[in-house]
Amino acid sequence: MAVYTEVSDEALRAFLADYPIGELLAFRGIAEGVENSNFALKTTGGDFILTLYEKRVDPGELPYFLGLMQHLASQGLDCPQPVPARDGQALRQLAGRPAAICTFLPGVWPRRVRPQHCAPLGDALARLHAAGADFPGRRPNALGPAGWAPLLGRCRAEGDQVQPGLVAELDAALAGILAAWPAAGLPQGQIHADLFPDNVFFLDDAAGQPRLSGIIDFYFACTDLLAYDIAVCLNAWCFESDHSFNVTKARALLAAYQARRPLTPAERAALPVLCRGASLRFLLTRLYDWTSTPAGALVTRKDPLEYLRKLRFFLRAEGPSALGL
Amino acid sequence: MAVYTEVSDEALRAFLADYPIGELLAFRGIAEGVENSNFALKTTGGDFILTLYEKRVDPGELPYFLGLMQHLASQGLDCPQPVPARDGQALRQLAGRPAAICTFLPGVWPRRVRPQHCAPLGDALARLHAAGADFPGRRPNALGPAGWAPLLGRCRAEGDQVQPGLVAELDAALAGILAAWPAAGLPQGQIHADLFPDNVFFLDDAAGQPRLSGIIDFYFACTDLLAYDIAVCLNAWCFESDHSFNVTKARALLAAYQARRPLTPAERAALPVLCRGASLRFLLTRLYDWTSTPAGALVTRKDPLEYLRKLRFFLRAEGPSALGL
C-alpha cells in the first residue's frame, strides 16, 4: 500500500502530452503494491497504470523489466504492456523519477485462494515461461541462493528478537538448502519470481469459474530456474490460513503447468529443495523489513514467521509426492 | 491514504449481485482518503467507487451523508451519486461494515492550487449551498465551536511537546474566537465543511483552463453557517507553500461565490473570525491525531503547525478587506 510521490498537475499534463493516448480524464493513487507509486490513469484513449519507480528499484534494471513485459505481451500473455511515448521510448521521467505507462488489465486478485484458481495459475505460469524463452535479456536473481547468506547476516543482530532461536534455525536450514541446491542441469529462463495472489487477476466466466485475466508486477523478474517459479507459487498459493498445505491446490497447479511443460526428472527431484529455498527467500526479506522498517513508515510489514512455518513444512516433506507431484 | 478492510472475492460478488450495474471487471484499492476504505470498481455498467465506512464514521449519520449527496446530485451538482441496490437502498453491508457504491467522477485534484482553480471553486461552493437549501436533513457540526474546547482539552497534556507554549496560545485564541463568534443572524444550511483541494476534481477545458468536474467526500458535511464553508476554503486553498496568504486566490474565490450569492453585511463582518475558527478546527484535529496516532499506524499525520501559522495570519488580519472581500 503506497503512493510515495505526488505529481503536480502541470508535470502530469506535460508528461502525458508526449503520449498518443488522448486527453486526461482521471488520475487516482492506487493503494496496492509497496515498492513503487502507482496511479490509475483514465484518458479518452482508455485506462492505464502510471508507475513511478521508487528507490527500491534499480533504474538500470528497468529496461529489462519493461522489455520483458513488452515481449511477453507480444507473445499473447495477459500482462501490462508498456506504452511507448511519441519518441518510441516507454521509460521516461516524471517528478524526478523513472516512470512508465502500461496498459490496464481487467480483473480482481483473489483475496481468498480457491482450488479453482490454481489450475489457471499453473497454466499461465507455463505460458509465461514459454513466452519468455526467446527474450534475449538476462537478469541474475538478486534474491536467489547467493543472496540469502548476506541477507541473513543483516538480520543476525535482531532476528532472535522476532523469535528466540530463529537465527540458528535459519543458519541450519540455509546450510542444508545450499548443499542440496541444484547446481546445473535444470531448465532456466525468464521467471516472474514474485507470483503472489495480489499479482494475478481473475474474472469469472459465464459458468462462474475463475478465468485468469492478467499477471502484473514483473519487478522481481529475473533469469533463473523455471521450477523455482513453481516453488514460489506453491509457497504463495497452496497454504491455508491455518498454515496447512493444501495438496489439492498444489496438484491442480502442477498438473496444469505440466500439461504445457512436463517437469524433467531432475526438476521433480529438486522441487522440495526449491520450495524450501523459496520459503527462506520470503522469510529473509520479510525478516529484514521487519527488523529495519522505521516505526511510522508507510509500509505494511508482513509477518516473517508465516514463512518459517512454510519452511518447516517443506523441510519435513518427504519427496515430491508430498507436494502434489 | 488507506485501505483498511480487505473484501473477499465471494463477498464482493454476492454484494454486487444485488446491484443492477452489470458484471465485475476490476476492483482496486484507492490510496486516497484516510477515513474510509475506498475501492475503484469497474463493471460492464461503468466506473464506480465502493466505500466501506470505517470506525471514524458514525453509521447513524450515513443516511444524512448519502441522502445529501443524492439530493445535491439531483440538483445538478457534480458529486458522487449513491447507487441504490435492487431493493432501493443505497446503504448496505459488506465485510461487516456499512458500505455504499457511488458513481465515479472524472477529474484530477490539484496538487498545486493556481488562482484559476479558485473561481470555479467559489462558484461550485455557492451552487452547493443553493442546492442544499431544500434538503430536509440536519446534522450538527460535531467539529464546530462547541467541540473545540473539549478537543483542546484532549491535547492539553501533550500539546506543548509539539511546540512549547502551544496550549496557552490556543487557549487564548479559542477564548477570543468564541467571544466573537456570530451567535445568530448568519445564513445557515448544508455545508461541506472539508472542501480541501483533494476533494475537488478539475479537468482542463479546450482553452486549457481548469473546469471543476466534481466535489467528493461529504463525510464531514453538516448544517451550519454557510460562510464557515468559505472560511474553510480560504484556509485550504489560499495559502502558498511559504505560508503567505494569496489574496488573488481569495478574491477569485469570493467574487465567484458572491456572483451567485452575495454575502450579507453580517457575514462579511464575521468572515475574519470564521477564518480563525476554521484554522483552529483543523489545527486541533491535526494536533489530536499527532499526539494520539500510534507509531506505525497507516495514517499520514498532517502537521498541525501549518494551521497555527494560518491562525496567526487570520488573528492579525485587519477586517474583511485583508481577506479579499
Which residue in chain A is spatially nearest to B26 when comparing CA positions?
A107
CA dihedral A168, A169, A170, A174 (to 10 degrees): 100
Structural domain contains residue B38: yes
Q: How far apart are CA A247 and CA A250, in angstroms?
A: 5
* Residues A150 and A48 both lie in one domain: no
How high is the mean pLDDT of chain B?
A: 93
Cβ pair B108:A12 closer than 8 A = yes
* pLDDT band (50, 70, 90) for residue B1: very low
- The residues near A150 (Cβ < 8 Å, ≥ 6 apart) are none
Of the residues B76, B103, B130, the one at which a domain ends: B103
CB contact under 8 A, B26 and A104: yes
pLDDT at residue B151 in the model: 96
Report pLDDT for B3.
59
CA trace torsion A185, A186, A190, A193 (10° rounding)? -130
Cα separation, B72 vs B134, in Å, equals: 10
pLDDT < 70 regions, chain A: 1-3, 33-34, 293-300
Same domain, B68 and B138: no
Q: Cell numbers for B45, please give them.
A: 455498467
Are residues B169 and B67 part of one domain?
no
Say if CB A37 and CB A31 are below 8 A apart: no
Q: Check B32 against A27: CB less than 8 A apart.
A: no
Q: Which residues pair with B107 in a beta bridge?
A: A26
**One domain for residues A47 and A196:** no
> Which residue in chain B has the smallest CA separation from A112?
B8
**pLDDT score at B57:** 86
Are the Cβ atoms of A112 and B10 closer than 8 angstroms?
Answer: yes
Give CA separation, B50 vs A57, A138, A179, in Å. Answer: 32, 42, 51
CB contact under 8 A, B106 and A26: yes
Q: Is A131 exposed, middle or buried (0-12, 13-18, 19+ CB in 10 A)?
A: buried
Q: Residue B263 pLDDT more than 90?
A: yes
Predicted local distance difference test score (pLDDT) of residue A4: 72
Q: A108 and B24: CB-CB below 8 Å? A: yes
Mutate to test the interface with A, among B25, B111, B199, B293 (most CBs of A within 10 A): B111
pLDDT band with cut points at 50, 70 and 90 for residue B84: very high
Residues of B in contact with A13 (CB under 8 A): 204
- For residues B220 and B132, state if they share a domain: yes
Q: Which residue of chain B comes nearest to A299, CA vs CA?
A: B298
Q: Which residues of B touch A107 (CB under 8 A)?
A: 25-26
Task: Write out the H or E segment, with its range, that includes residue B99.
Answer: strand B97-103
Classify burial at A138, counting beta carbons within 10 Å of its beta carbon; exposed 0-12, middle 13-18, buried 19 or more: exposed
Residue B237, SS3 per DSSP = helix
Q: Grid coordinates in use for B134?
A: 431544500
Mutation target vs B (from A9, A102, A200, A209; most B CBs, 10 A cutoff): A9
Per-residue pLDDT of B95-132, as tens digits, reads 999 999 999 999 999 999 999 999 999 999 999 999 99
| Dihedral angle over CA of A167, A168, A170, A174, nearest 10 | 130
Q: How many secondary structure helices (H) and strands (E) does chain A include?
A: 10, 9
CB contact under 8 A, B1 and A298: yes
Residue B109 lies in a domain: no
B104 vs chain A: nearest CA distance in angstroms?
A: 10
Q: What is the CATH number of the domain that holds A219?
A: 3.90.1200.10
Q: What single-letter DSSP state applies at residue A11?
A: H
Same domain, B132 and B202: yes
Q: Give the span between the Cα atoms of B290 and B285, in whole angstroms.
A: 8
Q: Work out the minimum CA distance from A308 to partner chain B, whole angstroms.
A: 24
Residues A56 and A130 occupy one common structural domain: no
Q: Are residues A227 and A270 in the same domain?
A: yes
- Grid cell of A147 as nine digits: 543472496
**CA B230 – CA B155 distance, rounded (Å):** 27
Task: Rounding to the nearest 10 degrees, give the CA dihedral for residues B5, B7, B11, B13.
Answer: 130
Q: Is position A110 within any domain? A: no
Q: What are phi and psi of A245, to 5 degrees?
A: -85, 125
Using pLDDT thresholds of 50, 70 and 90, give the confidence band for residue B31.
confident
Mean pLDDT of B228-233: 98
pLDDT tens-digit readout, A6-34: 898 889 999 999 999 999 999 999 887 66
Collect all residues with Cβ–Cβ distance below 8 Å to A65 and sequence separation of at least 6.
Answer: A218, A219, A221
Are B151 and B260 found together in one domain? yes
- The range of the structural domain enclosing residue B191 comes to 115-323
Using the beta-carbon criterion (under 8 Å), do A106 and B26 form an inter-chain contact?
yes
Q: Do B296 and A296 touch (CB under 8 A)?
A: yes
What's the pLDDT at A5? 83
Whether residue A234 sits in one domain with residue A149? yes
> How many whole angstroms separate alpha carbon A185 and alpha carbon B27?
42
Q: Is B13 helix (H, G, I), strand (E, B) or coil?
A: helix
pLDDT reading at B293 higher than 90: no
Does residue A86 lie within any of the structural domains? yes
Cβ atoms B78, B214 nearer than 8 A: yes
Best of A8, A43, A108, A201 to disrupt the B interface (most B CBs within 10 Å) is A108
Number of folded domains in chain A?
A: 2
The answer to whether position A108 is within a domain reads no
What confidence tens digit (pLDDT) does each residue in A218-248 have?
A: 999 999 999 999 999 999 999 999 999 999 9
In DSSP terms, B24 is beta-bridged to B43
Do A300 and A252 lie in one domain? The reply is: yes
pLDDT above 70 covers a percentage of chain B that reads: 96
Inter-residue contact B66 to B90 (CB < 8 Å): yes
For B299, name the nearest residue in chain A, comparing CA atoms only: A298
Tell me the three cell numbers of residue B85: 441496490
Q: Are residues A169 and A282 in the same domain?
A: yes
Amino acid letter, B31: A
B111–A8 C-beta distance less than 8 A: yes
Q: Can you tell me the mean pLDDT for B179-184?
A: 92
